[in-house]
Amino acid sequence: MFEDISKVLLITDMDGTFLPASKIPSRENLAAVERLMSAGGKFSIATGRSLQASKRYFEQVNVNCPIIMCNGGMVYDLHNKRQIYDVFLPVSAKEFVRRVLEANPDAGCECLPIEGVYVPQMTDMERAHCEICRVTPVECGLDEIPPNWYKALFAMKEERLHEVIEFADSISGDYPDVDLVVSAPIYYEMLPKKISKGTGLKELVKACGMEDFTIVAAGDYNNDIEMLEAADVGICPSNAADDVKRIADVVLDVSCEESAIAAAVEYIFERVGKRSAG
């Protein structure tokens, strides 16, 4: 591994890894990414966000590789504006969402088809999520949402998360074609079965012919675990969840508030330098 910087891909989660709480990329992270790409390395983003919720960042952050969206539901060629891989929730997911919302009227929800962000149950938590992502949601009934959803997200107060999870678990046997994952202390997401950032990474590598690359993945939360496991090297910032720290190959001593991705880039250059010196 790390024989040649031109054969290295760094792919990072956005929120809590590349982005601090302010949602403004640090100058250190931006400079480090540019340094990596200028040296011939590849850089990409893997996020649970929809394309609409991520677009503004790509005015600031350059990538030279397709990106992973919707927690693995889509691999998107940003430069040619086309999907190179996608997979959707089954039709039965609508009924699953309906039952969760009826049993939990305080849980917000958004569903993500190809275009738009649709909200069948608006709450203060869901409204805050839309504001964070800077998207204008379409509020409508579940039956009015266009088909082909990449995912559904439930937003709730942190103290209510476990109760929503317990209810979803109690009915999940009726819906064997979906998986659920906690993506933040207040977000619970429904994805197609066995779809994750990890499967998205494998599809990205295959589509780009990067089988001989050293893949370095960075993430901070449970929805990043499969991606870190699928990479050659899994890195997490110091603010990462304990479950992520347990499986990461490298736990950085800096957080997302301290430009963790700049530290990850430095780690890569150090390994390449050691290989060159050897």
Q: What is the pLDDT of residues 90-122, one digit of tens each?
A: 999 999 999 999 999 999 999 999 889 999 999
Give the DSSP H or E segment for 108.
Answer: strand 108-112
| CATH (domain of 172) | 3.30.1240.10
- Cβ atoms 256, 19 nearer than 8 A: yes
Q: What is the pLDDT of residue 275?
A: 60
For residue 97, what are the domain limits? 93-192
From 192, 225, 243, give the residue that closes a domain.
Answer: 192
Report d(CA 22, CA 142) in Å as an integer.
32
Percent of the chain surpassing pLDDT 70: 98
Other C-beta atoms within 10 Å of 85: how many? 19
From 177, 192, 207, give the residue that closes a domain.
Answer: 192
Weakest-pLDDT range from 4-13, 222-231, 268-277: 268-277
Pair type for strands 233-236 and 250-251: parallel
Q: Which residue has the tokens 């969760």?
A: 100
Q: 274 pLDDT band (50/70/90 cuts)?
A: low
Report d(CA 50, CA 208) in Å as an integer.
21
> Is the C-alpha dihedral spanning 62, 267, 49, 91 positive or negative?
positive
Q: What total of structural domains would you count in the chain?
A: 2
Q: 51 pLDDT band (50/70/90 cuts)?
A: confident
Q: Are residues 152 and 272 both part of a single domain?
A: no
Pair type for strands 82-86 and 74-77: antiparallel
Mean pLDDT of the residues in the chain = 95
On the question of pLDDT at 161 being above 80, the answer is yes
